Amino acid sequence: MNRIAIAALLGAYVLVPLLLGSNNYVMSLIVAALVIGGVALAWALLGNLGGMVSFGHSAFVGVGAYTSALLTLKAGLPVLAGLLAGGIGAAVAALAMLPVLRLRGPYFALAILAYAHIFKILATEWSTVTGGAGGVSNIPSFPVLAGVDFGTKTGAYFIGLTIVTLFAFAYQRIRASHYGIALRAMHGSEDATRVVGVNSTLLKAAMLLVSAFMAGVMGAFNAHYINFLEPDYAFAGLWVTLPIVAAIFGGYRTIAGPLLGAMVVYLVDQLVFKSLIPTGHQLVLGALLVAMIIFSPRGLLPLLRGKKHA
């Protein structure tokens, strides 16, 4: 069922540029929602399989963005290779967080949030490399490949869609593997899995690195899409809050849920709530999320499935 939901959702994604490709404003919102969806998927993978709630994914997004931007600008690395480098850079940054894996619950969430703030300070103060508070400009756009200009909004959309699709299938494979089964067992009772010989610390470390890699790639993608970076944006709190809201709203225990949630939450907020209430539209979004948590705590996708089977 999950594969069908993913296929249906991705099919809808493919139809988007065919219907809205001429509307640059709406396409820019959809690309932004795609970035949020990719980060939401990374966050949900860590939370759902690893049982770790992270408030620090902005660190991975920011490190990935800066890694790719600087390597392509200063070392001449091809943009597509820069995306991979961004993911690797974020995973390397996550190595610094391994000591907090022994913490649980809110202690882990707050500790990883502190790391995100540290990385933001480093990006601001290390001005000889990062440009400091002034940021980095003229970041290379996506290239022209086989006669197709991927530097346009529609072209970037398809690159982002390809990345998110690969992430979704990787998530599916991990969850169905023995590794994923062990993670879910650990999520249910970490102490019990330790008794039977499962190295829970190693499993959580691997999941943190995978999640960081995914968020880093999305950060790199966004850097090459907007062509500019500065610390307040690259490490902004929106890379924490919006992916969490999207994952919870769509259904973070499913693979398609975070992607669906990102599209619904971000587009409805920007196209409907923001036009009706220019200042304070986030309050409506917050109220909608509270209602979803109260009446369907498992999220939108499980709710739709329930209605279908009713």
- pLDDT tens-digit profile, the chain (310 residues): 556 666 766 676 677 776 766 678 888 998 999 999 999 999 998 888 877 888 889 999 999 999 999 999 999 999 999 999 999 999 999 999 888 888 877 888 888 889 889 999 999 999 898 988 888 999 999 988 888 888 888 889 889 989 998 999 899 898 888 887 877 777 666 666 666 667 778 888 999 999 999 999 999 999 999 999 999 999 998 888 889 888 988 888 888 889 888 988 888 888 888 888 777 777 777 787 777 777 777 777 777 766 544 3
d(CA 247, CA 44): 6
Whose tokens are 């909004």? That residue is 153
Check residue 182 and give its pLDDT. 78
Tokens describing residue 271? 């196209």
C-beta neighbour count of 81 within 10 angstroms = 12
Closest C-alpha to 14, from 38, 30, 35, 32: 30
What's the confidence (pLDDT) of residue 310? 39
Q: What is the full DSSP assignment across 130-184?
A: H-GGG-EE------EETTEETTSHHHHHHHHHHHHHHHHHHHHHHHHSHHHHHHH
How far CA 270 is from CA of 61, 130, 222, 239, in Å, comes to 22, 31, 18, 16
What's residue 309's pLDDT? 45
pLDDT for position 106: 81
- For residues 244 and 261, give the distance between their C-alpha atoms in angstroms, rounded to a whole number: 10
Pick from 271, 229, 294: which is nearest to 61 by CA?
229
Q: Are 17 and 27 in contact (CB under 8 A)?
A: yes
Distance of CA 51 to the CA centre of its chain: 17
C-alpha angle with apex 225: 222 to 228, nearest 5 degrees?
Answer: 80
The pLDDT, as a whole number, for residue 22 is 67
Q: Which two tokens stand for residue 239?
A: 């890379």
3-state secondary structure 27-61: HHHHHHHHHHHHHHHHHHHHHHCCCCCCCCHHHHH
Six-digit token string for 1: 């069922």
Sequence letter at residue 166: L
pTM for this model (two decimals) = 0.88
- Tally of CB atoms within 10 A around 182: 17
Residue 246's nearest CA partner among 295, 301, 198 is 301
Determine the straight-line distance between the first and last CA of the chain, rounded to whole angstroms: 16
